[in-house]
């Protein structure tokens, strides 16, 4: 656990609507007068955004699974030290659009790299473990429909790949029932927003934040 501050991650297949819900949660925390920082993976830092371009560029068809795994881990190492740890030390709530669970689902399970992903990412994440993970669950076919025509390198992977990602998330949720809250991404934006806030408020109250 992180000690001071609270670290909340959002996970889900492509097109699960994470960004919309992250924005709504951010606005609610601001309204509650709670210091909050939003960030995303891969990216969230100048260096991370450059790494992101390399990873997601549809032209990089030669990229091996291992290279992909290390690039995500490299972006994570940078954001953990540059953004997440400092904000947590200031007592802020950090909301991260994807974190280590994405690597476990996409590289560990779907690319078949297995345990290596966790082994590489433990030093990369520098011991960071989310206090709470909101997993917005969506059927892969539906999620990909929602991403429209402009697909990045990961979204261009075939449907079997995205089904394995969903299986990866199912395993992660099963293994971490206290940390991971699974919600149905097809529910209305307002209903989801309310469910997410209820879950976050309970977790923050336990960490000593005053929330309404």
Contact set with ligand TYD (CB under 6 A)? 14, 18, 40-42, 56, 72, 97-98, 102-103, 106-107, 152, 154-155
CB of 34 to ligand TYD, least distance (A): 24
Yes or no: say if 142 and 16 are a contact pair by the CB < 8 Å rule: no
| Three-class SS state of 181 | strand
**Strands of 93-97's sheet, edge to edge?**
36-40, 93-97, 6-12, 132-137, 180-184
Complex with ligand TYD: residue 185 or 204, whichever CB lies closer: 185
d(CA 11, CA 93): 17
Angle between helices 18-31 and 189-206 (to 10 degrees): 50
Complex with ligand TYD: residue 103 or 204, whichever CB lies closer: 103
CB of 107 to ligand TYD, least distance (A): 6
Complex with ligand TYD: residue 16 or 204, whichever CB lies closer: 16
Cis peptide before 42 (omega within 30 of 0): yes
Complex with ligand TYD: residue 32 or 118, whichever CB lies closer: 118
CB of 204 to ligand TYD, least distance (A): 24
CB of 110 to ligand TYD, least distance (A): 8
């Amino acid at each position: 656990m992180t000690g001071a501050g609270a670290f909340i991650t959002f996970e889900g297949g492509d097109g699960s609507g994470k960004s919309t819900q992250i924005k709504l949660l951010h606005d609610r925390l601001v309204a509650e007068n709670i210091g909050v920082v939003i960030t995303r993976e891969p990216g969230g830092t100048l260096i991370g955004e450059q790494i992101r371009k390399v990873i997601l560029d549809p032209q990089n068809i030669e990229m091996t699974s291992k290279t992909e795994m290390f690039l995500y881990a490299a972006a994570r190492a940078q954001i953990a030290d540059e953004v997440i740890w400092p904000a947590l030390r200031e007592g802020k709530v950090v909301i991260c659009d994807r974190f280590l669970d994405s690597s476990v689902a996409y590289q560990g399970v779907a690319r078949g790299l297995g345990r290596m992903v966790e082994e590489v990412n433990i030093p990369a994440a520098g011991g960071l473990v989310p206090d709470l993970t909101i997993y917005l669950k969506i059927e892969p076919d539906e999620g990909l429909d929602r991403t429209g025509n402009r697909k990045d390198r990961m979204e261009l992977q075939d449907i079997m790949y995205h089904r394995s990602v969903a299986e990866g998330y199912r395993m992660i949720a099963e293994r971490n029932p206290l940390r991971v809250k699974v919600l149905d991404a097809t529910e209305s934006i307002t209903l989801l927003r309310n469910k997410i806030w209820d879950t976050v408020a309970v977790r923050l109250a336990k960490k000593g934040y005053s929330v309404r």
